[in-house]
Amino acid sequence: MSHVSVKNLFLNYPLYQQAPIPDKPQIAHSVDPENSAHNHRNETLIRGGNNAIIGVRALSGISFEVPSGGRLAIMGENGSGKTTLLQVLAGIYAPDSGEVVIDGQTTSVVNINLGMSLEASGHNNITLRGLAAGRSRREIEERRADIAAFSELGEFLDLPVQTYSAGMRMRLNFAIATAFQPDVLILDEWLSAGDAAFRKKATARMQSFVEQAGILILASHSRALMEATCDRALWLDCGQIRAEGKVGEVANAYDEEMIRRQKDRDIRAQAELEAARAHATFVGQVDQAAQSENGRSPSGFYSFFARLSRIFLRAIGRK
């Protein structure tokens, strides 16, 4: 029986060119700095000497299990680690530490364009993609006719893929990705492809593909899709598990937090805009003062400059 077990998973992205962060004044506003979305996201940055960013903490202490028949939704903001987690489960990335155990044949639909050779023919790509997915040559040949028929590419399958249009490549990729029924299906968003007629056919195939999988792990931003296809949900927040449970309950908590964070971002953006306007006004007044004081005693100009400085600092909340 299929089973997925993840224990204490950690993964960092190193930055080989360090990114120094210069010191700059912080804009004062009413948001609690301990709970702001801005500071919360900064927790994933790994810093070295001189405050330089040397890496990003993509996943931190991830643990969960999915039994046979399980349907797990993974939700979270952009940059929360959803796709990275799927790529670790698919074997694309090796974790820095932790354990991933998957029992059963796995199909990963994280990036259906991954592994396609543009110089090879469509038929050769069917073979290459099948072998890369761990399928035997016998299994590939058993599914070749179905892939060819579903893609509707006909004699183009004998031509190099680089001669295909973008839509034709998508058709072939989709047909290959959904041809082999997995024990464990790892899916990043819901797939569809092609024009209106082909999308209708693709949607029906995708629905059957998902229903027949022994285990489904789906990352998505669509609450309706997650509630329709999954029985449990895991909320990733800056590379850590924020909540896990029934889809509706986790989605409600996630939605509430996203509303709060958006208010935080709006306040921060407004404060920074007001500070920028105050700075522009300040610079303009200094320029005018410099022109009017040209040729006069410098003491008057410096007195005016000090007064403007106090005005500007009050405007941005520093005094």
User: For residue 197, what pLDDT is reported?
Assistant: 80
Tell me: pLDDT of 291 over 80.
no
* Residue 26: predicted pLDDT: 43
Supply 261's token pair: 């964070």
Contact 129/114 with Cβ under 8 angstroms? no
Token duo for residue 60: 């931190």
Which uninterrupted H or E stretch holds 150?
helix 137-151
Cα distance between residue 283 and residue 261, in whole Å = 33
Describe the chain by its helix, strand, coil percentages, rounded to 5: 45, 25, 30
Question: What's the pLDDT tens digit per position in 209-239?
Answer: 888 899 999 999 999 999 999 999 999 999 9
- Per DSSP, the residues of 221-276 read S-HHHHHHH-SEEEEEETTEEEEEEEHHHHHHHHHHHHHHHHHHHHHHHHHHHHHH
- 81-85, 117-121, 199-203, 248-252: which range is least confident on average? 199-203
Could you report the per-residue pLDDT of 65-77, keeping only the tens digit for each?
999 999 999 999 9
Neighbours of 267 (CB within 10 A): 15
Q: Which of residues 153 and 316 earns the better pLDDT score?
A: 153
3-state secondary structure of 214: coil
Q: What are phi and psi of 73, to 5 degrees?
A: -95, 140
Please report the pLDDT score of residue 38 as a whole number.
46
Structure tokens at 257: 């937090």
What is the full DSSP assignment across 34-76?
A: TT-HHHHHHTTEEE-GGGEEEEEEEEEEEEEEE-TT-EEEEE-
Of residues 245 and 302, the one with the higher pLDDT is: 245
Query: If you average pLDDT over residues 262-285, what whole number do you get?
Result: 85
Residue 244 has pLDDT above 90, yes or no: yes
98-134 pLDDT, tens digit per residue, is: 999 999 888 888 877 777 899 999 999 999 988 888 8
pLDDT value at residue 31 = 44
Could you tell me what percent of the chain has a pLDDT over 90?
Answer: 46
- pLDDT at position 235: 97
d(CA 187, CA 265): 30
CA angle 238–263–38, rounded 5-degree value: 35
Please tell me the pTM assigned to this model.
0.75
Alpha carbon distance 66, 2 (integer Å): 9
